[in-house]
Structure 1
Amino acid sequence: MQIDRRQMLAGLSGLALSGVPSMSLARSAMQLGEGAVIALSDGNLVLPASFFFEGLPEDELDLILARHNVPRDELTPPCNLTLLRQPGRTVLFDAGAGPAFMPSTGKLLDSLEAEGLAPDDITHVVFTHAHPDHLWGVLDDFDDPVFGSAELMIGQAEWDYWTDPDTVDTIDEGRASFAVGAARRLSAIEDQVTFFKGGDEILPGVMAHSTPGHTPGHMSFEIRDGTSAVMVIGDAIGNDHVAFERPGWAIGSDQDTDLGAQTRVRLLDQLATDDIAIIGFHLSHGGLGRVERAGDNYRFVAKDA
């Protein structure tokens, strides 16, 4: 069956691709003071490449994809959630896709179990944004909260956008199911939610950075202990090939493609200049690594490559 952009955005690709095996559950980690930052796998997406690359310069795009051994027709980006384990708290950044989005996703609980953790051990869940692969894992098959003991934290602008009843009519038609799904899940967890804005220290040593474009209220998070730091970038930098080599290109996976490109250019410059480690939700090798300059552009250097 041929999967088009509209089907994927409506969440139907999971049904169409139910026979596609998921990738192995990658894990990468770094020490941070007395604690650890761990990238945990929720599986992987299966998407048509046109979702990301439609309208980009074909010849140059083909050269970049070939250089990174990225297929031209279909992509299987990993989903790397971030776990912060410190004395007195266990913080999860994003909640994964859960059981309802794609059969190749929803592996987070297995990854937590491998760490010796159950959902009730999570003290905080902090959201980068409310797209399905980041939010829908807050509810189980019975629509009960998965992280019932946790404080759930989301940027005020992101909450306002997805809970606005007008969003489903103003978002592009293909993403309407995202709006419906986000509003339903956010309503179900409202009693557990607290809000923040860019620039807030949301937890001791955790600073929120506004990185809009992929969604209107997308956030990244700088986790710091003394001179050591790692930036949880969510989908602000959505892949480790085109987004690094041509950060100024408008990429179709961003809701506001121009703003997404501006954010990406600014963020990559900051990360390379400050030499801060990153965890990217859809980057390879567990998503943990660093940004290096490569001429006028950048490259991703994975910790576990």
Structure 2
Amino acid sequence: MHITRRQLMATGTALLAASALPRRGWSQTILTLGDAELITLSDGNLELPADFIFGPMPQDELGPLLSGFGIDRGAALTPPCNVTLLRRGDTLALFDAGSGLTFQPGVGRLPEALEAAGIDPFDITHVIFTHGHPDHLWGVLDDFDEPFFPDAEHMMGAVEFDYWMDDGTVASIGAERAAFAVGAQRRLEVIADRMTRIADGDEVLPGVTAALTPGHTPGHLAFAVDGAAMILGDAIGNDHVAFARPQWISGSDQDPAMAAQTRLALFDRITADDMAVVGFHCGHGGIGRVERLSEGFAFRPAT
């Protein structure tokens, strides 16, 4: 095992945890699927201007819809960030790595959440990325720019990996996201030699199948677990408008039209197969079910 500076400086607090259950509420929700558990761990909350999501939407229809959710159209949004841990046998797999400490002040809490759950980063066997945005990728390195999960196999969609590693992306992604591209490439360069490139339909772990869900980013992947739950990433990016009006375009998506098509197709699959969902930016721990309404859908949290 490669010994890093972080390991030498670590206090070992996480190794002294009495159990794998949360002690401070960091581990929010657990979904049991046969011999597997899906556990959401909080990386904190983002703070986003409302127009980042709502700007392109039909404002005359948006206002009453937001009122029904108790959302102030003029206030900043503070979506939660739910990193998913899959525990099955000897496998401890994280889906996404959180934000790290250099993106926004309200995020980067995943190390605390892991410690509270009694899990050392060295125990993580796999880190599987839905996509390369900062709140999903930047936590993959520690404060010394070394892999935070040094013994883990890392997996990312080949389309997504190639997109962020392309030197042309920083020029084409738009000024407001240029830092995303620079930050993604820097981190992916560090972990490139431990990265397994995956594709739509691949069984990345026993019972876990990748599903190409593009639009939010070009190679975004969701992951079906045992045919009973779908880890959404940002393919369905919130638990309000994205559910209620999935056909509306969102400013948070890099290709808004394609993302809307993806949401509609994903909702059809989820409801047809009666799957639970795990939403990275959904409230109440992110785990719940989807209800089809006369118009749109609704997120029904497990807690």
- TM over 0.5: same fold? yes
Shift of residue 26 of structure 1? 5.8
Partner of 2:228: helix, strand, or coil?
Answer: strand
The answer to whether the Cα contact below 8 Å between 2:27 and 2:39 also exists between their aligned partners in 1 is: no
Corresponding residue of 2:255:
256
Match for 1:120: what amino acid?
Answer: F
The answer to whether the Cα contact below 8 Å between 2:38 and 2:86 also exists between their aligned partners in 1 is: yes
The answer to whether the Cα contact below 8 Å between 1:25 and 1:43 also exists between their aligned partners in 2 is: no
Corresponding residue of 2:30:
29
Over the aligned positions, Cα root-mean-square deviation in angstroms equals 1.1
Corresponding residue of 1:119:
121
Question: Normalising by the residue count of structure 2, what TM-score does the alignment of the two structures yield?
Answer: 0.90
Gaps of 5+ in 2: 1-24
Shift of residue 235 of structure 1? 0.2
1:301 aligns with 2:300: yes
Partner of 1:263: helix, strand, or coil?
Answer: helix
Corresponding residue of 2:6:
none
Shift of residue 41 of structure 1? 0.5
For 1:61 and 1:163, how far apart are their aligned partners in 2? 37
Partner of 1:38: helix, strand, or coil?
Answer: strand
Aligned residues: 278
For 1:290 and 1:182, how far apart are their aligned partners in 2? 32
Partner of 2:200: helix, strand, or coil?
Answer: coil
Question: Normalising by the residue count of structure 1, what TM-score does the alignment of the two structures yield?
Answer: 0.89
1:220 aligns with 2:222: yes
For 2:208 and 2:115, how far apart are their aligned partners in 1? 25
The answer to whether the Cα contact below 8 Å between 1:29 and 1:39 also exists between their aligned partners in 2 is: yes
CA offsets 1:202-246 (integer angstroms, 9 cap, x no match) = 11111000000000000000011xxx6211000000111111111
Corresponding residue of 2:19:
none
Shift of residue 50 of structure 1? 0.6
Match for 1:241: what amino acid?
Answer: H
For 1:98 and 1:192, how far apart are their aligned partners in 2? 19
Shift of residue 112 of structure 1? 0.9
Moved over 2 A (4+): none
Partner of 2:65: helix, strand, or coil?
Answer: helix
Shift of residue 261 of structure 1? 0.3
Match for 2:44: what amino acid?
Answer: G
Match for 1:178: what amino acid?
Answer: F
Corresponding residue of 1:286:
285
1:265 aligns with 2:267: no
Match for 1:186: what amino acid?
Answer: L
Shift of residue 71 of structure 1? 2.2
Corresponding residue of 1:244:
243
* Aligned partner of 2:79 among 72, 77, 80: 77
Corresponding residue of 1:13:
none
CA offsets 1:134-185 (integer angstroms, 9 cap, x no match) = 0000111211110000000000000000000111111111111000000000
For 1:70 and 1:41, how far apart are their aligned partners in 2? 22
Shift of residue 25 of structure 1? 4.0
Corresponding residue of 1:20:
none
Corresponding residue of 2:65:
64
CA offsets 1:17-58 (integer angstroms, 9 cap, x no match) = xxxxxxx84611111112211011000100110100113111
Partner of 1:214: helix, strand, or coil?
Answer: coil
Identity among equivalent pairs (%): 55
